[in-house]
Chains A and B, each alone.
Chain A
Amino acid sequence: MHLSEKAVDPPGEARADLDIFLDYARRMDFRNRDGAPLIDWTTPEQAYAAWQRCSAGRPCDYTAITYERLRGGSGIQWGGERLYTDGVFNTDPGYCETYGQDLSTGAEFTAEQYRAKQPAGRAFLPAADYQPSPEVPSEEYPLLLTTGRTVYQFHTRTKTGRAPELNAAAPDVWVELHPQDAARHGIAEGDLVGIASPRGAVEARARLGGIRPGVVFVPFHYGYFDVDPARRRPRAANEMTVTAWDPVSKQPLFKVAAVRIAKLAGSDD
C-alpha cells in the first residue's frame, strides 16, 4: 500500500476527485440512521480514517495501517511478509466476504450450501472444466487477436500521450505478426495492415517478430482524443474486441477475439 499525496493544485476550474465525490454525496443528501449527513469528513486523511473504521474487524482491516506508517517508508506490504502463516483462512461462514460462485456461470452459492462445506478456516481451491473462449478462430476469422500494453504508454494515453518523450517512443498503433502469418498475406515489416473482427476493424503498421504463429497483437492505448477528426483512421483495438466479461471476476474479454488480416499499403505508402 502506498500513500499518494497531492502534488499540485487542480488547474483552472478543475476540482479534485475527492471534492467531486463529496459534492455528489452532499447533493444526493445521503443520511445516516440519526438523520445527520452520512459523510462527515472532507479531507483525504479523514476519508481514510472513515475507511479504517469501516474495515475494523473485517478481513481487510486497515486500522493498523496509519498515515504515519505509510509515510515512514516506501509503502507497506499487505499482511506483512506472509499471509495465513497459521494456515487459517478467512472462510468461516460468519466472517467470510462471499459464499462463492460457480466459476463457469457466476451462479451464487447460498449460505446453506456454503455452510454445508464446513469451511472452518480451510482454503478452497475451486476447479472448472475447460471451456473455449466465447470467440475462437474460424474459417472466416482465422487468427487470434490479443490486446495489451507497451511500456511507454498507460491505458488510453491521457497522461503518457502528453509526455513528449514517452509519446515519441510509441507514437502510434502497430500490429505484431508472426513472419509465417505475414508471409501468407504478403505482408512485410512496416506495411499498413487491416485487422478485422466480426465487430470492427483497425489499420496498423506491421511489426514482424517472435509472437506465436496464428496470434496477432494490437496495443490498446491508441484512440482518437488527440487525433484531428479529418485525419482519423480506425486504430482503437477495442473496436474489435468482444463486449463481454468473465461471469465471476467481471474481467472484460479483451485478450481473445477472432480476426482476419489483409495488406492495405506498403511501408512507403
Chain B
Amino acid sequence: MHLAHYLGLLHRAQLARADAFRQVADAHGAEPDIDHLCRQQAKRCDDHAARLEPFARRYAEKAPEEPERLHSELFRGTRTGGIGLLRDLQDLYLMTAECDICWTVVGQAAQGARDRDLLDVVTRCEGETAIQLAWLRSRMKQAAPQALVVAD
C-alpha cells in the first residue's frame, strides 16, 4: 500500500509551507496584515502536519520503498517590495494548492482503506486548506493592481 508515501508527501509539504508562511511574514512585516495572518496560517500548517503524523507513521510500517521524485520544491526564499509580495503570495498559493490536491487524494485513499479516523482529519483539514487558498486569492487580488499598475 502506497498511502504512506502520499501521507509523507503531504506531511513534508505542510512543514515546508509553515516555514514559507513564516519567511513571508518576516519579509513583509511592514504590510500590517501579512505578519499576523501568515503566522496564523503557519500555525494551521503545523497543526495539519501534527494531525497527519500518527497516520504517516502507522502506514509507513506497511509501505514499500518510496517512489522516485516524490517530493516537490516550490519555494526558494522571499523577495522584496510590492511585486515581491505578490510573487511570494503566489508561491504560497501554489504550495497550498499542492496540499489541497493531496488532501483530495489522501481522502480517496482513506475511503478505500476504510480509515474513518484519517477521513475525519482529511475532512477537517481540506476545509481549512480551502480557506487558505481563498485567503491567498483575496489578498493577491488586493495587491495586484498596486503592484502591477501603480508602483514604480
Chain A: residues with CB nearer than 8 A to chain B? 101-102, 104-109, 131, 134, 243-245, 247
Contacts and interface: CB of A to CB of B under 8 A. Distances in A.
Contacts, number: 43
The size class of the interface chain B forms with chain A is: 10 to 19
Contacts of A247: 33, 37
A105 B35 contact: no
Contact of A109 (B39, B40, B41, B134): B134
A104 B41 CA distance: 10
B33 A244 contact: yes
Given A131-B40, A247-B37, A102 B32 contact: no
A254 B151 CA distance: 30
B135 A107 contact: yes
B134 A245 contact: no
8 contacts: A101-B138, A102-B135, A104-B131, A106-B139, A107-B131, A109-B134, A134-B40, A243-B32
Contacts of B62: none
Interface string B113-147: 00000000000000000011011011100000000
B138 A106 contact: yes
B71 interface: no
Interface SS of chain B: helix
A194 to B, nearest CB: 26
A33 to B, nearest CB: 22
Contacts of B37: 105-106, 247
Contacts of A102: 131, 134-135
6 closest A-B pairs by CB: A107-B134, A105-B135, A107-B135, A134-B36, A108-B138, A244-B32
Interface in B29-49: 32-33, 35-37, 39-41
B131 A245 contact: no
Contacts of A101: 138
A245 B40 contact: no
A46 to B, nearest CB: 32
Nearest to B130: A107
A105 B132 contact: yes
